[in-house]
Amino acid sequence: MDHEDHTQESVAREPDEVCDLDDCACTGKNIGKFTSPAALLAIAEHECLSGYDMAERLRSMPLGGETGPDSGGLYRTLRRMERFNLVTSEWDTEGGGPARRLYSLTNLGDACLDRWADTLRGHRDAIQAFLEDFEELRRDGGRGEIGAGSEDRKGAKGPLDSKGREGREGS
């Protein structure tokens, strides 16, 4: 591909597929991977963002983890979001450097971002309720209705430590 192929703006086209929000990652089915909601939020914050600038922004977000997403994973996510009409992109050839692909949010992408926020709130509330039940169980001596004792935890003889290992007396 020569340089001219990269300098032309994207041609408006129909999306290959349309994202079904009920089967979208915004439902939380891949809750451990926050690249999609973090990327959507970063684009929404700036209206238009390059992949490089997005990666920088994701590194500063709590959802991005300490190192942020790997570049390949981020660009795969952006291509998938573009395929599902959540974002659009066009080449920016202005300025002194190489051409950059700039990503913008579509109306469907904005709806997906809203769904992510609802999904994450729901998970936050479920996690909070779980933690409250857990803390109550521990305050009550660790033997109650919830879990019905440590024998139910795959044969563990005592409480589990923070890494999921059996607790040992005297260690």
The full set of domain ranges for the chain reads 15-146
Task: State which amino acid sits at residue 87.
Answer: V
pLDDT in tens, 31-53: 456 889 999 999 999 989 999 99
Confidence of residue 12 (pLDDT cuts 50, 70, 90): low
Confidence of residue 162 (pLDDT cuts 50, 70, 90): very low
* Cα dihedral sign, 53-28-24-33: positive
- Residue 59 CA to residue 6 CA, distance in Å, equals 27
Question: Do 64 and 58 form a contact (C-beta atoms < 8 A)?
Answer: yes
CA atoms within 13 A on the CB side of 145: 2
Closest CA to 21 of 123, 120, 116, 89: 116
- How far is residue 39 from each of residues 30, 117, 149, measured CA to CA in Å? 15, 13, 43
* DSSP codes joined into one string, 17-37: S---GGGSGGGTTTTT--HHH
pTM of the model: 0.63
Q: How far apart are CA 51 and CA 77, in angstroms?
A: 11
How do residues 118-152 score in pLDDT, each as one tens digit? 999 998 999 999 999 999 999 988 765 654 443 44
Q: What percent of the chain has pLDDT over 70?
A: 65
Look at the chain and count its residues: 171
Look up the CATH architecture of domain 15-146: Orthogonal Bundle (1.10)
Question: What digits encode the pLDDT tens for the residues 70-121?
Answer: 788 899 999 999 999 999 999 998 878 899 999 999 999 999 999 999 999 9
The stretch 48-77 carries a mean pLDDT of: 83
* Confidence category of residue 171, pLDDT binned at 50, 70, 90: very low
What pLDDT is stored for residue 72 in this prediction? 86
